[in-house]
Amino acid sequence: MISPPRIVAAQHPSQLLPELVAHAAPGAELVIDHAVLGPPPSAVRGPQAPFHRGPAAQARYEELLLSADIVLGLPDGGPEALARLVRSSERLRWLHTFAAGGGAQIRRARLAPQDLARITFTTSAGVHARPLAEFCLFGLLAGAKDLPRLQSLATERTWATQWEMRQLHQQTILVLGLGGIGRETARLVGALGARVIGVKRRPRPVAHVDEVHGIEDLPALVGRADGIVIALPSTPFTDGLYSRELIAATKPGAVLVNVGRGTVVDEQAMIEALASGHLHSAFLDVTAIEPLPPESPLWSMPQVVVSPHIAADDAGEDDRIAMLFTRNLQRWLAGEAMDNVVDVVHFY
């Protein structure tokens, strides 16, 4: 370990970060150059021109990153800039991504094996668990209570009484991915009385989950589930996992909620299943292509609710990322195992 380390922010961090770093690692040098980071996140909500650094600011930004032992955030937010940094920096030893699914960006950077061995990559997995689990609960409840039908009746001003809402406490919910989001979703829906079955790459008991299975059991599990929650990252092993075949095998009338990555789902097959009524409804915080193209039929399907990948956003997100990072900083300095280290085989 390097003590004291030089930490450079590649993205705007929480305002709490300097105080947290000073407490966790006295003597550590923290560099946050707001002049080269562009507008803070709160200033870029809504339609605005993309931020572009001038040549001098870009040179300064890259110089700072090359001077770092630890980089906080993805350089310029993308895999190409990350690849350039890693190729150019012999000093870098650890990079932490703000995104929970930062492993996908690291995979896309196509780093050399020796660089993946030299540098530790960590993510912010877990900091979004509560808000995303709430979105999952919203989707499952809205599907059970037939929100699309209620909206249609309101538009038609029709007082229809000849149908029954479904009860979540009588349902079986399948959760694909039992990381922080999946576990918190299981806790919430389990508290309402639903039976929760989950899928993990390495099955083992998980709190609030009644059954834990391996991926090989999915064809049978989707046929049992009244609701399916996808909380999986994008990896070579998960992309396309909820395939046309699995969608066809899904219990008729099931509700789908996706807060993982849109690439996990065969989107065209999902659209066809929604149009035919095989899938009752879908509540999507993610789609295969983002932003979702205006011509996508998902925008106009009444049984679909699209959230523009913002279900994880809340006022405390940056502070939780900063606290996670500084806990890991203490462990890094002590030579202890860190949380959320990216598996550079599966990249999550």
Active site residues: 261, 290, 309
The token duo for 196 is 């929760």
Question: For residues 94 and 328, what is the distance between their CA atoms, to the nearest angstrom?
Answer: 11
Supply the DSSP string of 117-165, one letter for each residue.
Answer: HHSEEE--TTTTHHHHHHHHHHHHHHHHTTHHHHHHHHHHT----S---
**Pairing status of strand 304-306 against strand 279-284:** parallel
Under 8 Å between Cβ of 5 and 29 = yes
Give the distance, in angstroms, between the CA of residue 92 and the centroid of all CA atoms in the same chain: 25
Q: Give me the half-sphere count of Cα atoms (radius 13 Å) on the Cβ side of residue 60.
A: 13
How many helices and strands (H and E) does the chain possess? 13, 12
Cβ-Cβ contacts under 8 Å for 272 (sequence gap 6 or more):
none
